[in-house]
Amino acid sequence: MSVTGITADGRGSSVSDTRYRELLSAVTSWVEGPGEEWAGRIEATGQVPDSLWKELREAGFLSLAAPVGLGGQGLSFVQWMGLMEVFSRSHASVRMIVHVVNGTWRAMNPHADEQQREKFVRPSVAGELIVAFTLTEPGNGTGADITSSVRRDGDTYYLTGRKHLITFGVRCDYWLLFARIEGSSGSDGTVALLVDRHAPGVVVENTSETLGVHGTDHASLTFTDTPVPVSHRLGAEGDGLAVALGGFLTPSRISVAMSCVGLAGRAQQLAVAYALERTTFGKPLASRQAIAFSLAENEADIAAARALTLQAAEDWQKGSGAAPALSSMAKLTAVDMLTRVTDKALQVHGGIGYWKSMPIERVYRDARAQRFEEGTNEIQKTVIARDLFRRASAGAAEAAAAADVPDPAAAPESLG
């Protein structure tokens, strides 16, 4: 499917180097100026006010990654990752807003018809409609084992089930929700539905009290025969997991990896500045070899994670089949890097770094959330291992075919 001559996921889109540098400068100035002021306000109140959403929307920061045909600014995915790195140096809730709004359209657009684009996709790209990605369930994983179900009666589905850990699930306008046709199993019976936030039969529990990422709302949701128009279904019955995972998960994992790079960069910036200004026994901390080596390790760690993440972004942008596994490699590598870097950055600050008056304290808390976003490390390892063994088996089969010998993978297990 294509829109305005480019792919529905925007991979054929890009802006000029001049325009990109202008956007990079604008984002950097905002993050280092108003963004820092917002960070203080969010931490003090625990809230992200509507005025911040409005400011981000009016600055054009919520429509950077989408193609021009959808009302976006047409950045390529690699270009968007450059801005994502900068946004991630800001407060985690700021990063979460721009990450989600600049990404949710990727799940919707490839499966939307033109009426759905007008009603849901374009308003979402414009930041006028908040769509919350709603997949995870309290008693299940995030794949074909979902149990939230719908039964169809004429032009209406009736939804029953539970979801939790839903980012923006309280303040959203619609939940982009994944369920299955009643009585089905596996991925074939799954559906993707846009469920009105104010539909009847829904109980919304605000579960926003978290260790970090203060201000971002999260929800637990319970649905009991909640009506959803069939016209709000994206794609066909059976396409639910394709909508959830196909065009969204891979680029989102890469984006989370780059957000780890950006946040690690902020931790390193704070640690370097503190090492230069803090004096012990008449010398700055930076002159201590143990501190200098620790920060040198951080710098190399960040650069390596950035390089892998950009490789994954380039592969996804050009449609490479290696992109899904690379996205998991990038996310796995980047979150582990972020853990090491923020731990060392806090250690450089000594005991004072543990106090809320120090910016590194918030960075340290916010970093832990990245280990869960878009799948745990264990999920990433599963994806990588599956791809590794698939490629190895394919290589063995090709070698066997070239040698005109039986494929060992196809041989019976019993030898006798």
Check 36, 374, 378, 398 and give the catalytic one: 374
User: How far is it, in rounded angstroms, from Cα 233 to Cα 235?
Assistant: 6
Residue 374 a catalytic site member: yes
Read off the tokens for 379.
Answer: 């999920």
* Residue 158: φ, ψ to 5°: -120, 115
Query: Do residues 248 and 106 make contact, with C-beta atoms less than 8 angstroms apart?
Result: yes
* Residue 170: φ, ψ to 5°: -90, -50
166 forms beta bridges with 219
Residue with tokens 């006798």: 416
Query: Do residues 54 and 114 make contact, with C-beta atoms less than 8 angstroms apart?
Result: no
Query: Do residues 101 and 124 make contact, with C-beta atoms less than 8 angstroms apart?
Result: yes
Query: Do residues 164 and 220 make contact, with C-beta atoms less than 8 angstroms apart?
Result: yes
Query: Do residues 373 and 256 make contact, with C-beta atoms less than 8 angstroms apart?
Result: yes
User: How far is it, in rounded angstroms, from Cα 29 to Cα 115?
Assistant: 38
Read off the tokens for 318.
Answer: 């050009």
Provide the annotated active-site residues: 374
